[in-house]
Amino acid sequence: MTKPLVALLSGAGVSTDSGIPDYRGPNGLWRRDPEAEKLVTYEYYMSDPEIRRRSWQMRRKNRTLRAEPNAAHLAVAELEQSGVPVRVITQNVDGLHQLAGMPARKVLELHGSAQSFVCTNCRARGPMEDAIARLDAGEEDPACLKCGGILKSATVMFGERLDPVVFGEAVAISKACQVFIAVGSSLQVQPAAGLAGVAADHGAQLVIVNAEPTPYDDRADEVIREPIGTALPKLLCKVSAKSDASR
């Protein structure tokens, strides 16, 4: 008997213990500073050099590039390493699942990665550290070294579409999994949030781990409100034990 496929949708709440603030929680970035949303909105970013300068300074101060995986990231990687088929679908851009030990091919980054930059014109890419080094050297709005185009973080900004190939894979996994765990996500940002409904529609056991209520709580088989750093490792231990019993 094959082990059940476990899909894990991870949101900002998974990385708060690593020092990365969430966006929509009680102390979230968008609630504290609504203007900050403009810094990651494509239309504002492309049309306003001052927004770009502020956005680059935000990246420069950002703790994302210096963050380390926490207990939740490590628990997911340990589940995968134990032989349970695991796929991570993440709304996060911090790369911490991979840093914790999840194979990159088993992590779908719906909103891209803050670890890289991309040219909006010629699509050239490079490590974010290289762009930050140019800021440290005095540039305020570094242009593409290949074509002179506008550079941005290789993340999906507000106003940009998700990569259709990546999202298509996420939908396929949501349909195929037997267990779908949504953790640290408000489940308010579509189309990513809808994956929880897709999984439930296709018969998966739906578990939601989040501090605040979500629009999908009434469809869940289990809702856990405990802190993620302790709740997720406990939950994944149970999933592992059930998986071993199903062999």
Among residues 73, 97, 111, 202, the one annotated as catalytic is: 111
- Residue 151's DSSP bridge partners are 119
As a dihedral over the C-alpha atoms of residue 95, residue 96, residue 101, residue 105, rounded to 10 degrees, the angle is -30
Contacts 24+ apart (CB under 8 A), 216-221: 216/182, 216/187, 220/196
Residue 213: alpha-carbon gap to chain centroid = 19
Whether the Cβ atoms of residue 235 and residue 86 lie closer than 8 Å to each other = no
> What does each C-alpha distance from 163 to 55, 108, 191 come to in angstroms?
22, 10, 12
Q: Are 20 and 12 in contact (CB under 8 A)?
A: yes
Q: Would residue 111 show up in a list of annotated catalytic residues for this protein?
A: yes
Give the integer Cα–Cα distance in Å for 38 and 41. 5
Residues taking part in catalysis: 111
